[in-house]
């Protein structure tokens, strides 16, 4: 239908699920064009989206009058060039997280959106994850008082398969996995605590996968096989370049005085995130981050010894689709924003702030854990995006 938002997609790889989520013919949006340099990816897109899909290897061909909005789902280091081109062309643009891999590139994207008056949206889908929204609502309802500390442990159980066999393993493409994976969680920490990071100290290293000597130019046929790729030192077919950390952590001081920490490990047997938020009148913690048994527990009725249950248990009700319904929520918000403008739960400035914390934490990690001050976005850009993108 002509009334559907017509979307052009750049990249049909790891995050093609977002393109499929956005293809809702007759229900507000449809994917009408795809750019990907890989002919096999374009063929797969036509098979999954439909034979009428226009496909190309030239990103410029997405920026025509036949396309209303652009979704950039390409590898991280390509985001800045594509986003700037789309914004200059006046296309409402969704950039998958992370916004970019340097602070300078993030600021360039923000300035381009402002200077051309083009709507910019960043794919921080965790702000739409039921577990995160449950925790945020409990905090806003005063369940634990004023937030004073946030801790996040990120167990990346499939890290050896997902992040050390392709472009992610090369720091030229990501800066590092503390940024690439951590951008999600740092953004959530900021959202739950209500402030950005101003000072960081990082620590970590390539502690396991650097010992794996089997390398490959392409993914092996059984690249994702928990049965054969365990324990982690049994991994094979890693990227020829592996110079990112598989274990990393950062301590953060936020602008409002909250203290936070984030830990990430890519060789755990389980795959989930665990948040603890401590306030002046209690604490909360999630157990599981999606699935039927996920729950957020609150302790707020007074002191006690070990108590595995807590005073309040809130089941996490997952939606349909990817990431427990987060992808559906993200795309619905993006389509509404592209058509109408107005406030969104995601924030381009917050996306930039999560990158800034990750970049400077990675610098600290690689420089003997020396502390780093994290600069804010320029006041003019902060004011522009705070006013909303009409």
- How confident is the model at residue 2, as a pLDDT? 59
Nearest Cα to Cα of residue 352 among 46, 55, 102, 27: 102
- How confident is the model at residue 1, as a pLDDT? 46
What is the rounded distance in angstroms from the CA atom of residue 23 to the CA atom of residue 112? Answer: 27
- Domain range holding 243? 127-326
In a domain, 295, yes or no: yes
- Residue 155 forms beta bridges with which residues? 265, 272
Which DSSP category does 270 fall into? Answer: S
- Residue 373 forms beta bridges with which residues? 199
In a domain, 374, yes or no: no
Residues in contact with 380: Cβ distance below 8 Å, sequence separation at least 6, in sequence order: 114
What is the chain's length?
390
Contact 31, 7 (CB under 8 A): yes
What is the CATH classification number for the domain harbouring 198? Answer: 3.30.360.10
What is the rounded distance in angstroms from the CA atom of residue 375 to the CA atom of residue 189? Answer: 17
Nearest Cα to Cα of residue 70 among 119, 21, 125, 128: 119
Work out how many domains the chain is built from and give that number: 1
In a domain, 234, yes or no: yes
Nearest Cα to Cα of residue 34 among 88, 78, 70: 70
Within 13 Å and on the Cβ side, how many CA atoms surround 344?
Answer: 33
- How confident is the model at residue 321, as a pLDDT? 72
Contact 90, 8 (CB under 8 A): no
Kindly report the backbone phi and psi dihedral angles of residue 205, in degrees, each rounded to the nearest multiple of 5, phi listed first: 180, 175
Distance of CA 25 to the CA centre of its chain: 26
What is the rounded distance in angstroms from the CA atom of residue 142 to the CA atom of residue 138? Answer: 6
Per-position b or e across 78-101, b if 16+ CB within 10 A of its CB: bbbebbbbbbebebbbbbbbbbbb
Q: Render each residue's pLDDT in the chain as its tens digit; 390 residues.
A: 458 999 999 999 888 999 999 999 999 999 999 999 999 999 999 999 999 999 999 999 999 999 999 999 999 999 999 999 999 999 999 999 999 999 999 999 999 999 999 999 999 999 999 999 999 999 999 999 999 999 999 999 999 999 999 999 999 999 999 999 999 999 999 999 999 999 999 999 999 999 999 999 888 878 888 888 999 999 999 999 999 999 999 999 999 999 999 999 999 999 999 999 999 999 999 999 988 889 999 999 999 999 999 999 999 987 777 777 899 999 999 999 999 999 999 999 999 999 999 999 999 999 999 999 999 999 999 999 998 887
Kindly report the backbone phi and psi dihedral angles of residue 256, in degrees, each rounded to the nearest multiple of 5, phi listed first: -95, 10
In a domain, 68, yes or no: no
Place of tokens 């600069």: 375
Taking each helix axis from N to C terminus, what angle separates 182-193 and 130-140, rounded to the nearest 10 degrees?
20
Distance of CA 159 to the CA centre of its chain: 15
In a domain, 156, yes or no: yes
- How confident is the model at residue 222, as a pLDDT? 82
Contact 107, 83 (CB under 8 A): no
In a domain, 369, yes or no: no
C-alpha distances in Å from residue 236, one per residue of 218, 219, 226, 231, 233: 11, 10, 12, 11, 8
- Residue 203 forms beta bridges with which residues? 249
Give just the sign of the alpha carbon dihedral 171, 174, 175, 176.
negative
In a domain, 106, yes or no: no
In a domain, 278, yes or no: yes
- How confident is the model at residue 352, as a pLDDT? 98
According to the 3-state scheme, what is the secondary structure of 39-80?
A: HHHHHHHHHHHCCCCEEECCHHHHCCCCCCEEEECCCHHHHH
């Amino acid at each position: 239908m002509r009334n559907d938002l017509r979307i052009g997609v750049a990249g049909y790889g790891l995050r093609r699920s977002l393109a499929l989520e956005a293809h809702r013919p007759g229900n507000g949006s449809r994917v009408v064009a795809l750019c990907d340099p890989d002919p096999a990816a374009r063929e797969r897109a036509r098979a999954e989206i439909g034979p009428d899909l226009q496909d190309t290897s030239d990103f410029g061909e997405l920026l025509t009058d036949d396309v209303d909005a652009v979704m950039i789902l390409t590898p991280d280091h390509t985001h800045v060039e594509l986003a700037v081109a789309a914004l200059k062309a006046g296309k409402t643009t969704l950039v998958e997280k992370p916004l970019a891999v340097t602070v300078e590139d993030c600021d360039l994207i923000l300035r381009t959106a402002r200077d051309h008056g083009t709507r910019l949206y960043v794919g921080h889908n965790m702000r739409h994850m039921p577990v995160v929204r449950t925790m945020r609502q409990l905090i806003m309802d005063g369940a634990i008082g004023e937030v004073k500390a946030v801790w996040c442990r990120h167990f990346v159980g499939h890290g050896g398969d997902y992040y050390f066999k392709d472009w992610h393993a090369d720091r030229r493409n990501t800066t590092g996995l503390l940024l690439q994976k951590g951008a999600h969680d740092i953004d959530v920490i900021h959202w739950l605590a209500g402030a950005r990071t101003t000072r960081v100290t990082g620590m970590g290293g390539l502690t396991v996968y650097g010992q794996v000597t089997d390398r490959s130019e392409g993914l092996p046929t059984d690249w994702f096989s928990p049965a054969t790729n365990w324990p982690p030192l049994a991994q094979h077919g890693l990227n020829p370049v592996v110079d990112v950390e598989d274990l990393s952590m950062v301590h953060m001081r936020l602008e409002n005085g909250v203290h936070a920490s984030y830990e990430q490990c890519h060789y755990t047997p389980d795959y989930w995130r665990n948040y603890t938020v401590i306030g002046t009148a209690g604490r909360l913690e999630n157990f599981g981050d999606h699935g039927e048994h996920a729950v957020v527990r609150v302790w707020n009725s007074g002191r006690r010894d070990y108590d595995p249950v807590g005073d309040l248990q809130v089941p996490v009700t997952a939606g349909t689709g990817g990431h427990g319904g987060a992808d559906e929520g993200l795309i619905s918000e993006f389509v509404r924003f592209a058509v109408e403008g107005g406030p969104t739960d995601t924030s381009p400035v917050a996306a930039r702030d999560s990158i800034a914390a990750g970049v400077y934490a990675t610098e600290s990690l690689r420089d003997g854990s020396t502390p780093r001050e994290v600069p804010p976005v320029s006041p003019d850009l902060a004011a522009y995006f705070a006013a909303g993108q009409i």
